[in-house]
Amino acid sequence: MSELLANRYELGAIIGTGGMSEVYSAQDTLLGRQVAIKMLRPDLARDINFRERFRKEAKNSSLLNHPAIVATYDTGECEQNGLEIPYIVMELITGRTLREVLADSGALSPEQAARILIPVCDALQSSHDTGIIHRDIKPANIMITNTGSAKIMDFGIARALNDVTSAMTQTSTVIGTAQYLSPEQARGKTVDARSDVYALGCVLYEMVTAKPPFEGESPFSVAYQHVQDDPVAPSEFLKELSATAALNIDAVVLTAMAKHPGDRYQSTTDLAQDLKRLERNAVTEAARHYVQPTHQVEDEPAAEVTEVNTTALAAQSAKHKTKKSRLSPLPIVLLVVLLGASSVIGYELFRGAESKKVEAAMVQIPQLQTVPQADAVKRLEQLGLRVNTTEEASQDIPRGNVIRTNPAFGSSVQRDSTVTLAISSGKEITETPDLTGLSIEAAAQVLTDAGLQLDPVVREDSSDSIPENSIMEQAPAAGSQVSKGSKVAITVSTGVATERIPIVTGLLRDQAQENLTALGFNPHIEYVDSLEPKDTVISVDSEGAQLPKGTTVTVKVSNGMLIKMPNITRLNTDDALKALRGAGWEGGAAQLKIGSPVKTAVILDRGLIAEQGTAPGSTIRKDAAINARLYEFDILALG
């Protein structure tokens, strides 16, 4: 298919299809760039609801400007068979959808999944700040570019928070993809940004387990499960994870997927913060408040149950009283009492009274990570322990808070023992290396070696000096003092920008130079012999071709030195000179070269030009010498 939309966009092949649209590759002939054009399917264009939905997508998309959202450049309508077909001109992304990545590669590690979704969260927060909810977040709507960055696309059913006019946004309408529907969407209730948080939880679940949280024979049965059922914890499918890692991924996913919006992360920014912790294997905020199901703690020592679960219970009881998947206060209290009692009875029966005295002299190191130094010292001293402190830099723990204890949390030690607290001195400062000219892969390694991270959002721009696919800009700049762990954003060169050489043949030299210079070319003027008036452009190298800006373009300009040779035969030399000068010849009388005479018997022809060296109509230079022969009367010629 090769058509020109709006006298600008040359359509190529179909590169994607959806429920209501087809996507074409296209060339923007005005700006000379590749784009993607999304068009409503003609069979749906007759339906006003589909047209309205498509127009809303165009409107919503045009309001969004974020590097992790597929950019919208233009919108319009074209006529096909009497129908007005709306279309959207978008950024052309080279890559695969997250759905294709998962189909090819299977489950990702929690760290990989977090790394991909962090910019998605940032993009959705930008959308929410604009007042737009996506409502259809799923792997098929997340693109992974060839550079590894993620981009959200398809705001086809997105809704503005203040939009109460459209029939498509009424609370009784269920819109979305069943496997990623929030409970409130499944019920047809009003949704807000937390519905996108729920969908991200479902996507994260699928990324780490290679299966959606709920499956069924029909979309209805899947939607019903979103409303009624608790998902199997993702760690059940990830047996290779440590207990801490399992708790981390379960807490993040199941908090995002909480049935009630008030129990979820309250924004995608909050979710992104925990994903950053998940990416670097730090304890997530969700994990700090997460109460594990009974079967996950039954086999642990009573002391650990007391320390972990009673703390988590205190954090949870005020906010999450009704969650089915977490233990209610009474079973936890009973479990602690029973396990504690059985431990005491066991010691009395098998160890005797003296062992009981030894146990009484032992204390357990509490969990103090992230606790302020003064509070940590106070707690340890209350347990009868001595305290030493050391300082070290930490990327995760705020300055003045505990990084770890030695002995470690959970260890049993005698009273009056010494415990060393490693206290955070804050993030270590480092200097940003110069990434200019490096490839993305090389830059990532250089940053890793410096204790920094490469921002996954990679920008692109043209450059006259930096080769294609090499880094041309970075932020912060090289030499900046930053905290270790900071991200460095980069802009990668797409090579020298190109332009089409304009048609300037026939123009005067000055106008041609101005036109070429304005487009970034360097005109090189060469004067050539020509019949055209002086300073007229005769030809331009590669005229009309697409060439890099800065290219030197040879422009051949007429010097006006050519004329057409007039007929000077049967004229005397004076009249011949007049005829030549009338034709533009600039030579002098001496340049009219008279050769050997031609004999004639006609006395009246004497002194007239009998022959001219250059035939009439021939092209000659204005300063060329002219050869001619005159008639000479010769009586003998009568013979």
Q: Would you list the DSSP string of 463-494?
A: -SSSPTTSEEEEESPTT-EEETT-EEEEEEE-
Centroid of chain to Cα 482: 24
CB 31 within 8 A of CB 11: no
- Residue 163 catalytic? no
The pair of three-digit structure tokens given for residue 22, joined into one six-digit string:
């087809």
CATH 3.30.200.20 is held by the domain 4-91:
yes
pLDDT at residue 307 tops 90: no
Fold match flag (97-288 vs 498-558): no
Q: What's the pLDDT score for residue 81?
A: 83
> What is the spatial distance between Cα 637 and Cα 356, in angstroms, rounded to a whole number?
157
Q: What's the pLDDT score for residue 350?
A: 38
Q: What's the mean pLDDT when you consider all of the chain?
A: 83
> What is the spatial distance between Cα 477 and Cα 156, in angstroms, rounded to a whole number?
39
> What is the spatial distance between Cα 637 and Cα 601, in angstroms, rounded to a whole number?
5
CB 556 within 8 A of CB 540: yes
CATH 3.30.10.20 is held by the domain 429-493:
yes
pLDDT at residue 125 tops 50: yes
> What is the spatial distance between Cα 91 and Cα 65, in angstroms, rounded to a whole number?
12
49-63 average pLDDT score: 82
> What is the spatial distance between Cα 23 and Cα 34, in angstroms, rounded to a whole number?
13
pLDDT at residue 295 tops 80: no
Q: What's the pLDDT score for residue 129?
A: 87
Residue 125's nearest CA partner among 137, 109, 115 is 137
For residue 466, what are the contacts with CB-CB under 8 A and spacing of at least 6?
A: 436, 437, 472, 493
pLDDT at residue 557 tops 70: yes
Of 236 and 290, more confident? 236
Angle between helices 193-209 and 98-105 (to 10 degrees): 20
pLDDT at residue 635 tops 50: yes
Q: What's the pLDDT score for residue 426?
A: 82
CB 60 within 8 A of CB 166: no
**Residue 331's pLDDT band (cuts 50, 70, 90):** very low
CB 410 within 8 A of CB 365: yes
Of 489 and 328, more confident? 489
Residue 229's nearest CA partner among 264, 186, 193, 271 is 186
> What is the spatial distance between Cα 39 and Cα 42, in angstroms, rounded to a whole number?
8
- What's the Rg (C-alpha) of the chain? 41
Delimit the domains of the chain by residue range.
4-91, 97-288, 291-360, 429-493, 498-558, 564-638
Q: What's the pLDDT score for residue 191?
A: 85
Q: What's the pLDDT score for residue 157?
A: 55
478-492 average pLDDT score: 90
Element at 193 (helix H, strand E): helix 193-209
The pair of three-digit structure tokens given for residue 516, joined into one six-digit string:
């070429």
* % of the chain at pLDDT higher than 70: 85
> What is the spatial distance between Cα 183 and Cα 222, in angstroms, rounded to a whole number?
11
Write the CATH number of the domain with boundaries 97-288.
Answer: 1.10.510.10
Instruction: Tally the C-alpha atoms within 13 A of residue 310's C-alpha that lie toward its C-beta.
Output: 13
Each residue's pLDDT tens digit, 149-178: 999 998 755 454 444 334 333 333 445 678
Degrees, nearest 5: CA angle 9-552-26: 10
13-17 average pLDDT score: 88
Q: What's the pLDDT score for residue 2?
A: 56
CATH 3.30.10.20 is held by the domain 498-558:
yes
* Amino acid, res. 633: F
Active-site residue identified among 136, 154, 196, 455:
136
CATH 3.40.50.720 is held by the domain 564-638:
no
pLDDT at residue 541 tops 80: yes
CB 202 within 8 A of CB 185: no
Q: What's the pLDDT score for residue 268?
A: 96
Give the count of beta carbons closer than 10 Å to the beta carbon of residue 552: 10
The pair of three-digit structure tokens given for residue 503, joined into one six-digit string:
């048609």
Q: What's the pLDDT score for residue 637?
A: 66
As a dihedral over the C-alpha atoms of residue 158, residue 164, residue 165, residue 170, rounded to 10 degrees, the angle is: 70
* % of the chain at pLDDT higher than 90: 56
**Burial of 282 from C-beta contacts in 10 A (0-12 / 13-18 / 19+):** middle
Residue 13's nearest CA partner among 27, 25, 21, 28 is 25
pLDDT at residue 37 tops 90: yes
| Range scoring the smallest mean pLDDT among 260-264, 279-283, 494-498 | 494-498
411-427 average pLDDT score: 86
pLDDT at residue 328 tops 60: no
**Burial of 156 from C-beta contacts in 10 A (0-12 / 13-18 / 19+):** buried
Q: What's the pLDDT score for residue 515?
A: 94
CB 48 within 8 A of CB 55: no
Q: What's the pLDDT score for residue 347?
A: 34
